[in-house]
Chains A and B, each alone.
Chain A
């Protein structure tokens, strides 16, 4: 053992999973006191996961804990799967009291509530996501979008750029098969992401009383994401804004990740104040310590 290393409680959680390994992995440092920002970024680069989170005491009495969220490249204000996975790991590890129905997470995007719901015998968590809005773009942006969608059978809604902290292009496809069999043009999506300062492209279609979704965040160097919390919340807000939620109702399920050998399930709901919540189940796969 090299002297000077600290030891930190650690978990690697499968988020939006229906069984272990079917969701989106998240690394969680459960008590990150003693780590500086540079160390957090280095750890997040090393885990090689989409996100790694670091839990700290809250700076506000209105929050139960504070979380800092890092991708392999940078710190971000908010993301869905890190919020759900972090809260689940804290509850499972007894790091926060397990009796409250609602938790309050402090992050760079503010203090956000999480709710615990027992669904079909399984503990699930949902987080209220800062609501995204449809943003306009130049003709050049739409031309790049249509190049990225070449060969895709489009659905009834016109594609749009949405903005809610991070920016996503959303495109409804004709049906479930069009989504599942899509061969993404990664170079075209990468160009789209770069030229429009967005994360990339998210496609969806209606299926089985819910949606089937795929997300291609080439803007952060990831070809395909197995389960995307904030992107799904953006889709829900987009459908709500377009008055296209009627068939789905105010709560629906999303299937994502099968095309990359995962099988994630996300729960979306829109509350009475038109706020979007995203959630799902988790499995803690790794629990132990991190030495850094």
Chain B
């Protein structure tokens, strides 16, 4: 007989249900082995499913394991923010002085909790660094065909996952981009990258940056709202002294029918934080 566990499916980086990136969270995951976690993450068919466990490290508020339909990840942005929200909503963990410490395979990561009429959560992303990479000369031209490029050169950034980052000329160039998915898949597969994220400065009331992320080699043509890519972009802009400001909001997902907002900050120690609002869409029990 299956056990009954508390379960939630939340919408991350969303000001309203359906605007963000969905995440399935199994709250009382003790007793599940790795294989059954992987099987359930395959069944939900979401980009990530997480499992909340009691912490094993001193100081940690909770422990989380993060799975895609195919594999376990050491860290990912939207699963961290969404898991912290569910831990708070269910009383699985609590914040002390607006802080929590998430234990995950990438280590201990601090989470800032801003309670208010609408709770906002932010996680410090693992440090990002550019990776020197020789790329075969034939790989980039088909990706860049017909794109209007920005000032910065393309870069491969590593903050756990590796993202190719490409600045485009302006918001319109990002929003109207027709991605060459097969060319992007060849580029990312050949270089060990999870995907390609394009971005540009924006002049809008509610966002200063616009982002789109393509992961065709991983079976996801376009990801609706991407925490780790936004953190990598912030680190890259900061290295080049081109941040819109130390804190800004990025818009992502409109081209796939969503409307996500990622709140980005670079702190005094030059570390990138990403976060935003989370909507609790499904609450219930899981028989698994």
Chain A residues at the B interface, C-beta cutoff of 8 Å:
1-2, 5, 10, 12, 14, 20-21, 25, 42-43, 45-49, 223, 261-262, 283-292
Contact = CB atoms under 8 A, between A and B. Distances in A.
B282 A10 contact: yes
Contact of A290 (B16, B257, B282, B286): B282
Given A21-B43, A46-B281, A287-B285, 8 more contacts: A2-B16, A12-B282, A14-B43, A25-B43, A42-B18, A284-B287, A285-B43, A285-B287
Contacts of A291: 17, 279-283
Nearest to B221: A221
Contacts of B281: 46, 290-292
Contacts of A49: 45
A25 B45 contact: yes
Interface in B228-263: 257
A285 B286 contact: yes
B286 A286 contact: yes
Given A48-B22, A286-B7, A292-B17, A10 B43 contact: no
Contacts of B257: 42, 45
Contact of B44 (A1, A2, A25): A25
A286 B284 CA distance: 7
A281 to B, nearest CB: 14
The 4 closest A-B pairs by CB, nearest first: A288-B284, A42-B18, A21-B43, A292-B17
Nearest to A42: B18
A292 B18 contact: yes
Given A25-B45, A285-B288, A20 B17 contact: no
Contacts of A283: 287
Contact of B18 (A12, A46, A262, A289): A46
A289 B43 CA distance: 19
B288 A21 contact: yes
Contact of A20 (B22, B44, B283, B288): B288
Contacts of A12: 282
Contacts of B39: 21, 261
A49 B45 CA distance: 6
19 contacts: A1-B280, A10-B282, A20-B288, A25-B43, A45-B18, A46-B22, A47-B22, A48-B22, A223-B219, A262-B42, A284-B287, A285-B287, A288-B7, A288-B282, A288-B283, A290-B282, A291-B283, A292-B17, A292-B18
A104 to B, nearest CB: 28
B105 to A, nearest CB: 22
A261 B39 CA distance: 8
Nearest to B42: A261
A291 B17 CA distance: 8
